[in-house]
Structure 1
Amino acid sequence: MISEAELIVDRRRLKRSVTLWRILAVLLAVGAVVALLWTPGNVRSFEDHIARIRIDGLITGDQATLDLLKKVEESRKVKGVIIRIDSPGGTTAGSEAIYEAVRKIAKDKPVVAVMDTVAASGGYITALATDRIVARGNTITGSIGVIFSFPEVSKLLDTIGVKMEELKSGDLKAEPSPYRPVSDKVREVSMAMVKDGFDWFTGLVAERRNLPIERVRELSDGRVYTGRQAITVKLIDELGGEEVAVSWLETEKKLAADLEIVDWKPRDTRDTAGFGFSAADLVLRALGLESLSAGVERAKLDGLLVLWHPAF
């Protein structure tokens, strides 16, 4: 038979074991919460530093990027900002949103743009929001203009014997329509919208680059420029890379020479699990269908565009 002393010892051993498992369970729960909330983009320096923000790919004014820019604006540890741009542009409204967010940062902190391979159209609008623009000699930039594109498949529908019927409240509702040729009235209204966006864009260039509007209109036929051409026509300030931008921040804006450059990244909104990857993207990559993932981004291209290459 087990003595009373042995029972007491066993109970104490069991109690310690249960306590240990409870502690481990709590630690695992805390770790799980941290893993869910943490992404590399959430790491921030606790020391004074220069923030590096990347504007890549299609510019849509997504909330994650706008939230990031807002955090940079409010951070007391950010003493200067480098915007690295590699983008052919995107939607006009999205580019406007990014422009306004960068201008808010520039009210209190020096901001410099560094153009990489492409910084055209909406990418150039982003650069205009900064205090200084640096580009490589072979960077593609410019493409000052607005485009509104839409499909027109009426002949195809006639060929296959499909007819679309519509009941609508006004003759310009849901126009231009892909189901019929564009009328003169619809073309006139659509072109007026494009012109309004174009006037806004050229006005930004004239204001930010300190150029006469007449000269801006000469430069705004939609063409792209290399960095060397762009500096000749005063669309950018200097040729070079990030080291040139840092030098400007130190010499012109008197930032300390020993400031670290810290990457600030938006939270990946596709990452619902918080582990830095999208399950859907992972499956598409495994099947060799990465292009379908890119197609999701292209599907966002609706409305007025400030985009260098619409086929993008």
Structure 2
Amino acid sequence: MNHNSFLNMLSRACNKAQFIEPNYASTFFSYLGLRAGASKLVNADGTELNADEMKEMASSFAPTRNRERSYEVRDGLAVLPVSGTLLHKYGYLQPRSGATGYDGIIARLNEAISDPEVKAVMLDFDSPGGEAAGCFDATQMIRKMRDIKPIYALCYDTMCSAAMALGSACTERWITQSGNAGSVGVVVAHANYEKHLENEGVEITLMHSGAHKIDGNPYESLSVEVKTRIQAKLDKNRAQFSKIVADNIGMSVEAVLATEAKVYQGQEAVDIGFADRLVNGVEAIPLLIDIIKTKSDTGTTMPKSIQAAASQSNTQASTSQGSGETTNEQLEAARLEGAAQERARCQTILTHEEAISRPSMASHLAFKTEMGADDAVELLKASPAMATLESTGSDPQTNQMKDGLTHAMSEIEQPNLQTTGDSDSLSADQKAESELLSAHTKLTGAK
């Protein structure tokens, strides 16, 4: 709710008669009171609610998260059904009337990826495919998002053609014993009504400018030249389709092309490489939930930038040790370089203009993933923005950096930092960092 809407509600709620049930009135006016800066609420019977009690009452005023979601969440797993014909710019979030839109799939995935309660996503496929338009773009977005949170494809029971393209972009593909996957190919249908119209006594004349303007029209047979061009385009699209699938699942392009758009069932799909695991459809969700819990217990990993620097330093160390040279300086330099690269990556993401209206997503990309800054910004651009920030008297980018730092510090073990020299010799940035770390230690007890 923006500031103007709140003021309008406040003016309509105060000093006017309201038809509200007493218990709900406490909830309603607690919410308005907190927004207006009130420290207590006095009920009609004289009882008072302090600020903490008002917050507790107001917490039930907003709709629950589950009611807002466009997907089901079970123990950290978001389940998104993908069924029927796949359509470009369908305009609906959920499958509807036997079809699912690429736009709806990506919108729901963006929401799930940004949801802090979601640890992984399952796309529950039962689709024979659909439009080529929009398919490859959606596939590319899924491939990017799987680097943020794991996305599993469940073929229960059809994941063919365009659906196979989407499934290939997922972290893993599971299939049931009766599931069908594959059909990596392209088809075009041409209807010729020439003889039918002739029998009906109807003659259609197409007047046009441009030699190829009416190629493929339904009122005459296809010429050899037009057929040849259409076939060449189909072959090109199939080659592109096969490369996308091959790159996503780790097969060779030649192996995908060799399937000749064949459909594989159950274990056959696993054997050919189109699926990773054969599962019982009823047991798939509980099984994946167990996997999520197991992986959650393993903790976080070192960012790739630091890993790369460490790997380089280890290589240099091995060389240096062979020549008898000292390696401590090299190891320290590599560590500092990796840390600097990681700080730069996080700063680029958090301070980008696209992060201002997507603070939760930006923090997650910066501190919970290893995605490069450029890819993270592209994903931010494609993600839905939050509601317009209300005026708080502070800089949104400053708040974003502060929230991001708090989030990051709460997720990692804090080192025992020592300052060297007198505090007067520290720079402004060093003093700020020291104060932040000290405040965090006092609040959390972490060292």
Contact 1:119 1:140 (8 Å CA) reproduced: yes
Aligned residue for 1:19?
17
Aligned residue for 1:238?
277
Contact 1:120 1:143 (8 Å CA) reproduced: yes
1:96 is the counterpart of 2:136: yes
Who wins on radius of gyration, i.e. which is larger?
A: 2
Contact 2:71 2:108 (8 Å CA) reproduced: no
Aligned residue for 1:163?
203
For 2:138, the aligned partner's letter is I
CA deviations on 1:96-126 (whole Å, 9 max, x unpaired) are: 2331232232121111111101111111111
For 2:80, the aligned partner's letter is I
2:120 and 2:140 map into 1 onto residues whose CA distance is: 17
Counterparts of 1:251-266 in structure 2, within 5 Å, are 251=294, 254-255=295-296
Contact 2:143 2:248 (8 Å CA) reproduced: no
Shift of 1:47: 11
Aligned residue for 1:55?
82
Aligned residue for 1:107?
147
Aligned residue for 2:263?
224
Contact 1:134 1:245 (8 Å CA) reproduced: no
Aligned residue for 1:306?
none
Shift of 1:195: 1.6
Shift of 1:46: 10
Aligned residue for 2:235?
195
Aligned-pair RMSD on alpha carbons?
3.0
Aligned-partner SS, 2:133: helix
2:157 and 2:72 map into 1 onto residues whose CA distance is: 28
For 2:150, the aligned partner's letter is P
Aligned residue for 2:186?
146
Shift of 1:250: 4.1
Contact 2:180 2:265 (8 Å CA) reproduced: yes
- Give the helix-richer structure, 1 or 2: 2
For 1:234, the aligned partner's letter is G
Aligned residues: 226
Contact 2:73 2:79 (8 Å CA) reproduced: no
For 1:53, the aligned partner's letter is L
TM-score, structure 2 normalization: 0.46
Aligned residue for 2:117?
77
Contact 2:128 2:162 (8 Å CA) reproduced: yes
* Identity over aligned pairs, percent: 23
Aligned residue for 1:127?
167
Shift of 1:76: 3.3
1:204–1:45 CA distance, 2 compared to 1 (3 A): closer
Aligned-partner SS, 2:134: helix
Contact 1:47 1:77 (8 Å CA) reproduced: no
2:107 and 2:71 map into 1 onto residues whose CA distance is: 14
* Higher RCO (Cα < 8 Å, 6 or more apart): 1
Shift of 1:55: 0.8
For 1:54, the aligned partner's letter is P
For 1:49, the aligned partner's letter is G
Aligned residue for 2:397?
none
For 1:230, the aligned partner's letter is A
- Give the strand-richer structure, 1 or 2: 1
Of residues 74, 80, 86 in structure 1, which corresponds to 2:126?
86
1:225 and 1:48 map into 2 onto residues whose CA distance is: 32
1:173–1:131 CA distance, 2 compared to 1 (3 A): same
1:56 and 1:153 map into 2 onto residues whose CA distance is: 32
TM-score, structure 1 normalization: 0.64
Contact 1:99 1:126 (8 Å CA) reproduced: yes
Unmatched 5+ residue regions in structure 2? 1-15, 29-60, 94-103, 299-447
Shift of 1:45: 8.6
1:69–1:174 CA distance, 2 compared to 1 (3 A): farther
2:270 and 2:71 map into 1 onto residues whose CA distance is: 35
